[in-house]
Amino acid sequence: MSSSSSRAQESRLRFSSVLDRVAAYPKAGGYRLPDSVALMASNEGPEPLDPEVAAVVAEAASGINRYPDPGAAELRGELSGLWGVPPEQIGLGNGSCDLLIALGSALLEPGANVVYAWPSFSVYPMLAQLTGADEVRVPLDGDTHDLGALLAAVTPDTRLVIVCNPNNPTGTSLPADQIEDFARAVPSDVCVLIDEAYVEFSDVCGPRELLGLVAELPNVVLLRTFSKAHGLCGLRVGYGLFGSSELVEATDRLRQPFYLNHLAQTAAVAMLHRPEILDRRVQTQLASRDELATGLTDLGYDVSPAQANFVWAQLPEMDGLSGDERTAAEAAVVAELRDAGVLVRAGTALGEPGRLRISTGTSEEQARLLAALAAR
Ligand SMILES: Cc1ncc(COP(=O)(O)O)c(C=O)c1O
């Protein structure tokens, strides 16, 4: 680590070697920028918090002089009732990433490995980096998970295999029967994590379709979040439906006390009490996504079948170009969009040069993006 201190004395701090392995999560991305900038890079959805939920959260703010409920009993009880999973088989986290990292830390160590498809969610590589385990990245088949190849990659050293369904960044989703067959075929001493961050948007494999697996297999986890469809990413709250309480207890041991703050717990419960708000948000974002996909297709972009609140689009005329040429073309588009006040995610950073991952925006924001692309 280099010191950037302006003090008279140079820092002589000694850091853990884990920092040699772990890449910093990018902080750029446009947070807290002026409202005029269209944030279409982080799959958040543009709709603000519903005023009714905002009022419940505002009222709860007077209670933040006390620590939050460490067991999040009310939220856990609501989730248990909704999904029919015993409360002790529900894990919670400060965002689903928190739960994912704790689960990875509970399972992985040097000599073990984690298997996942690539390109997929950019946090998965952190699991091996943090724990010193090996990682096995299995290429997608086109834009979709290759479950046969994932299964073939599982070895006696594998402790965790991850399927992202729908997949970030490609937006594709596999049907429940294929995921079920896969999970049943994985050896029972390997944890099968199905990351369902975008499940509410999928009409291929919806939120109830894999619940049977949780009841059947102790090694399965369905990872969920309130960040996307529910629109609570600024509060950070995620959860997992675990096949066994043993796995929940293991992840909980690796977290700081009171990891889920009071306002996050309150807002999540308020959203669960108002399913019509969730439905409205999902319908709005699906309509926006389809409009975006049509607009991009009309401009010659090759858009993958989308099952989440974003699209994955290849720039026109990429055939025959080298990776570097694709990266250059993509960087030019991203820069032009930034100049037009629209932020999108570049494919190169996600392992696929020449592509863009574009999250749904408001009608005006999407029109601005399409106009900027049409003017090139
Ligand atoms: C596939 C996937 N999983 C998990 C997350 C993490 O969400 P959070 O930590 O906000 O719950 C994301 C966020 O982008 C994601 O795309």
Query: Going from the N-terminus, what domains does the chain have, and what CATH number goes with each?
Result: 27-49+276-374 (3.90.1150.10), 51-273 (3.40.640.10)
Strands in 158-164's sheet, in edge-to-edge order, are 90-93, 238-242, 220-225, 191-195, 158-164, 113-118, 134-139
Q: Quick one: average pLDDT of 193-221?
A: 98
Q: Atom 12, ligand 1: which residue's CA is nearest? A: 197
Task: Please state, in angstroms and rounded to a whole number, the distance separating the CA atoms of residues 162 and 153.
Answer: 12
The pLDDT of residue 5 is: 58
Q: In the structure encoding, which two tokens stand for residue 76, read together? A: 């856990």
The pLDDT of residue 32 is: 66
**pLDDT tens by residue, 77-102:** 999 999 999 999 999 999 999 999 99
Residues with Cβ within 8 Å of 261's Cβ and at least 6 positions away in sequence, in order, are 64, 68, 94, 235, 236
Region at 192 (left for phi over 0; alpha for psi -120 to 50; beta for the rest): beta
The pLDDT of residue 23 is: 81
**Cα 5 to middle of ligand 1, angstroms:** 33
CB 214 within 8 A of CB 252: no
**pLDDT tens by residue, 57-73:** 999 999 999 999 999 99
Residues in the chain: 376
**Cα 122 to middle of ligand 1, angstroms:** 9
Q: Is the CB of 43 under 6 A from ligand 1?
A: yes
Q: Is the CB of 170 under 6 A from ligand 1?
A: no
**Cα 97 to middle of ligand 1, angstroms:** 6
**Cα 269 to middle of ligand 1, angstroms:** 19
Mean pLDDT value across the chain: 95
**pLDDT tens by residue, 319-366:** 999 999 999 999 999 999 999 999 999 999 888 999 999 999 999 999
Q: Atom 13, ligand 1: which residue's CA is nearest? A: 197
Mutate which of 168, 172, 200, 360 for ligand 1? The one with the most ligand atoms within 8 Å of its CB, which is 168
Query: Identity (one letter) of the amino acid at 266?
Result: T
The pLDDT of residue 24 is: 80
CB 227 within 8 A of CB 238: yes
Q: Is the CB of 167 under 6 A from ligand 1?
A: no
Region at 133 (left for phi over 0; alpha for psi -120 to 50; beta for the rest): beta
